[in-house]
Amino acid sequence: MSSATEPSHTAVAQFSDRVAEAVERKRTQLVVGLDPRVDLLPMELRGEAVSGRPAAAAAVERFCKGIVDAVSPYVAAVKPQVAFFEALGSDGWQALESVTRYASEAGLLVIADAKRGDIGSTARAYAAAFLEPRGSEPPLADALTVNPYLGTDSMDPFLSACRNHGSGLFCLVRTSNAGGRDIQEATLSDGTPLWRHVAGLVDEWGADFVGEHGMSSVGAVVGATVPRLMGDARKAMPQAIILLPGVGAQGASPADVARAFTSGPASALVNSSRSVIYAYRETEADWREAAAAEAARLADEIWAASGW
Amino acid sequence: MSSATEPSHTAVAQFSDRVAEAVERKRTQLVVGLDPRVDLLPMELRGEAVSGRPAAAAAVERFCKGIVDAVSPYVAAVKPQVAFFEALGSDGWQALESVTRYASEAGLLVIADAKRGDIGSTARAYAAAFLEPRGSEPPLADALTVNPYLGTDSMDPFLSACRNHGSGLFCLVRTSNAGGRDIQEATLSDGTPLWRHVAGLVDEWGADFVGEHGMSSVGAVVGATVPRLMGDARKAMPQAIILLPGVGAQGASPADVARAFTSGPASALVNSSRSVIYAYRETEADWREAAAAEAARLADEIWAASGW
């Protein structure tokens, strides 16, 4: 982008550089998660949603687009949680396609939170579903969350998308839930927890995708609910953009995440879902206004905590 | 089912008992994987598929229904690989819904191969997507493949579906791909590989769901390509139905799988995808006839190898 020479083989800039550009321009590392649960929708939309899946999907679509409008000035990206769309079947997938297109057109990066992972030939199909252009249409998402359990060859098709389409990945390393410890904290023969081994793999996988801002397009998910691990995670993956879920409804505070930002202002993204999109439930305000206010507040707090 | 007393709280029989019933009645432990790749469809369908996603999804739907018709006498279940449908977006999901309904109506068990795994609230949405009744419609699938990386609480919503809807699960333990070793074979401090630890968790998770045939509805995926591990896997999970991918195109032979069957004729299911559904590519025969012939041949070979 900033180079005057030939453009690289990638028509689109590295995902990590697109993140850096958005973070620095908008002064925010906030990502708002789109987790549309029909039973939590504002009353005006919930009423529409009761008459079957197509109606529910239409209500979800309106809700998510309203949230995109509301939070757009305060976020670097939105993160649709694919499960909540998939729960509405093909109608939900249609809503997902419409919402992601809308968010892209609003200038936001889209991180599809799908946690996919499968053997090579199947992972290729998931890469096509989420990260590759669809005929004349752009990819569904700019980045995808992936699950590492199937190892390096299961990552290859996703890494190809990083190479060919400037996609980003966020690989699960240490998740924010209590059960995260059951497997991720298993102690290896050298005394380290399994997640450290996975972090090492993420660092390797990302080595080819370091952008002009020094960060890799292969990032990692590390729960903000385990702040004591953040320093270790950063050390093991100095170039990974760390996506931190767990701020807000899951109990972590912005200060818990500061250590993730030691590699730069765009070296971490902090996700908040429920506490932003359902902020209206705690106030008298319109649901869009409540989401905007909470996103603005969180974005400022995280920016300050990041130390940049 | 065989009891004359009150039905249990589950309206539908345990998944493991439904598997046992199908295996014993049809004398087959074969599962055929539905991995519809547009570029591998028979010419008569591929021609239709080139004019965009809706047309491709329609061709995929016709293909999968033709395969269901062809292999139905020889299989206990079909296993749609969700990625290949998802690669066609909402049109693909519509095809998935139609194909799974068709297979259920043909009396086949449906194992959705989606390898989902996420934190509790999100896993609940995936359970709704795949395993729970959809309004007046039955669940999309009888069983789901799941990824254990997020630990016990990520399994709870799926286990609830086992309890409430007689669903089945197949948890990834040791996968059939080369990269399976990168994480699954990490050596723990007690000298065992990680997958053994995961197998122990699967055994625990499944303890509440052991049916009348002595097998649990919480099964495990263990690649047939690593036969030397099969005895260990069976010992660690004596009641798990082991789903073995990798026979056929991935290189394992039916004899490689014999050790999985030591807990009974329905204690393992053997999946073959490409070598059955694309069998027509090796012959002059009609694609349906070729698939039926290969399914019949494999079913017999596996039944013999199982020793029952």
Are A129 and B89 within 8 A, CB to CB?
A: yes
Q: Which candidate in A177, A184, A190 is best for mutational testing of the B interface (most B CBs within 10 A)?
A: A177
Residue B11 has a pLDDT of 66
Sort A12 into a burial class: Cβ within 10 Å, 0-12 / 13-18 / 19+: middle
Q: Closest Cα of chain B to A94: distance in Å?
A: 5
Q: Taking the CA atoms of A33, A37, A38 and A40 in sequence, report the sign of the dihedral they define.
A: negative
Looking at the DSSP assignment, which residues form a beta bridge with residue A110? A78
CA distance B166 to B162: 5
For residue B37, which residues of chain A lie inside 8 Å, CB to CB? 125
How many residues make up chain B in this entry?
Answer: 308
Between A287-306 and A53-71, two packed helices, what is the crossing angle to 10 degrees?
A: 50
Q: Where are the domains of chain A?
A: 15-306
CA distance B246 to B257: 10
End-to-end CA distance of chain A: give it in Å, rounded. Answer: 24
> Across the interface, which of A93, A154, A188 has its CB nearest the CB of B179?
A154
CA distance B135 to A38: 14
Say if residues B30 and B72 touch (Cβ distance below 8 Å).
Answer: no
Contacts of A5 (CB under 8 A, 6+ apart): none
| Max CA separation in chain B (angstroms) | 56
The interface predicted TM-score of the complex, written ipTM, equals 0.94
The two structure tokens encoding residue A138: 């752009």
Which residues of chain B are under the pLDDT cut of 70?
Answer: 1-11, 248-252
For residue A184, which residues of chain B lie inside 8 Å, CB to CB? 149, 151
DSSP B241-253: EEEE--BSTTSB-
Q: What is the pTM of this model?
A: 0.95
| Tens digit of each residue's pLDDT (9 = 90 or more) over B104-133 | 999 999 999 999 999 989 999 999 999 999
Are B83 and A186 within 8 A, CB to CB?
A: no
CA distance B7 to B1: 8
Residue A250 has a pLDDT of 65
CA distance B201 to A280: 40
For residue A90, which residues of chain B lie inside 8 Å, CB to CB? 90-91, 93-94, 96-97
Closest-CA residue of A relative to B128 is A87
Which residues of chain A are under the pLDDT cut of 70?
Answer: 1-11, 248-252
Q: Cβ atoms within 10 A of the Cβ of A62, count?
A: 20
CA distance B263 to B241: 9
| Tens digit of each residue's pLDDT (9 = 90 or more) over A219-263 | 999 987 777 788 899 999 999 999 998 776 666 677 778 888 988
Residue A245 has a pLDDT of 87
Place of tokens 């769901």: B209
Q: Closest Cα of chain B to A125: distance in Å?
A: 5
Closest CA to B123 of B149, B91, B94, B84: B149
User: Is A15-306 assigned to CATH 3.30.70.360?
Assistant: no
The two structure tokens encoding residue A37: 């649960």
- Contacts for B124-127: CB closer than 8 Å, 24+ residues apart: B124/B157, B125/A37, B125/A81, B125/A83, B125/A84, B125/A86, B125/A87, B126/A83, B126/A86, B126/A87, B126/B157, B126/B158, B127/B157, B127/B158, B127/B160, B127/B161
Candidates B26, B65, B79, B115; catalytic one: B115
Closest CA to A245 of A15, A28, A31: A31
DSSP A84-137: HHHTTHHHHHHHHHHHHHHHHHTT-EEEEEEEE---HHHHHHHHHHHTS-BTTB
- Spell A205-241 as b/e; 16+ CB within 10 A means b: bbeebbbebebbbbbbbbbbbbbebbebbbebbebbb
**Enzyme catalytic residues of A:** 115
Q: Which candidate in B86, B146, B222 is best for mutational testing of the A interface (most A CBs within 10 A)?
A: B86
Q: Cβ atoms within 10 A of the Cβ of B266, count?
A: 25
Q: Closest Cα of chain A to B147: distance in Å?
A: 8
Closest CA to A77 of A280, A276, A308, A271: A271
The two structure tokens encoding residue B220: 């495990």
Q: Closest Cα of chain A to B4: distance in Å?
A: 36
> Across the interface, which of A97, A120, A184 has its CB nearest the CB of B89?
A97
Closest-CA residue of B relative to A151 is B179
Place of tokens 């999970």: B237
